[in-house]
Amino acid sequence: MVKTLKYTLTLSISILISDIAISGINFNDRIEQYQLNNGLKIILINDDRSSTVMSSIWYKVGSSYEYEGVTGISHVLEHMMFKGTENTKPGEFSREIKKIGGTENAFTGKDFTGYYQKVHKDYIELCLKFESDRMTNLNLSKNDLKSEREVVKEERRLRTDDNPTAKIFEKISNQAFGMRGYGVPIVGTMKDLNKISVTDLKKWYLNYYAPNNAVLILAGDFNVIPKEIDVHNPESWTNDALFHEDTLKKFWSMMNLGLTDAYRSINGDKVEYTFFDYKRKTNFENNKGLRIDHFLLPPSMVDKLDKCYIDSKLRGLEKPSDHVPIVCEFKF
């Protein structure tokens, strides 16, 4: 028996995961997931309220993966990730982000270690370049470990040793779980922090910092008109961000990772649109629109795609959205 699944897209990025509510806005219809051939999972969250983009990569490792002898190693490695690679100098990533007016930081949790940047969308490629570099080419030296070890030890003093409430909570967790899993403090113990070596860090880095153990999340404005056929009167959109040369370069560099435009793969050069400006009612009646809502499929999903169509009749309803749904049906 062939099972058919149908997904409906009502905004510019398709949604295949559960509800997310941020700032009172439901993002469950603005999220799209992909997985590259190297195992890296990518989540796109479309948010066109701002021209900024948040890029964050989460590695599936944190203090709950640790054990007695290396407690705190995930957090120490988080600090060391800012110490440069074979291709960049220590602190260069941070300086470049600051230079373009962006912000960045990192965090260690029980289950994840994350790194994030908030920049103008024109610089998202720069963030991805740096993250890709330090995922594979990190420099780990004894001198850097010596200085960052002291920083982490001071964090422990401030957060736990000099904080009675935190100290009690740590003891309760240790009684409940022991010095393993969720009983391990994120910042580690002083005894283990003093013992962690460069060799320990290299093993931890090689074991957990890999594409198939990471999730990349990009949140921002991803609306784009891929080709002239996707817009009525393309000449009038040449200088618009949706159809600007720089936007298209970045869009196609992403597509060249191995993604397929589901609508075009099924419908060829058929002229249909997914967006009609609600301020101009005659645009829909005269088919003057844009195709800016897309299903971008990884190779593993292309051969399962059965149908892809735009349900434009919904635009003719009373008080409609200016976007219309694009629908994909898959056979598994």
DSSP letter (8 states) at residue 161: I
Token couple for 315:
């635009």
Identified catalytic residue from 66, 78, 104, 170: 78
Can you tell me whether residue 185 is helix, strand or coil? coil
78 is a catalytic site residue: yes
**Both tokens assigned to 86:** 């074979």
Kind of pairing, strands 4-9 and 103-108? unpaired
Amino acid at 142: K
Closest by CA position to 316, among listed 306, 324, 327, 307: 324
Task: Give me the amino acid identity at 302.
Answer: V
Scanning the chain, the segments in alpha helix (DSSP H) are 73-80, 92-99, 124-136, 142-156, 164-177, 190-195, 198-208, 245-255, 262-267, 281-285, 299-302
CB 71 within 8 A of CB 188: yes
The residues annotated with a catalytic role in the active site are 78
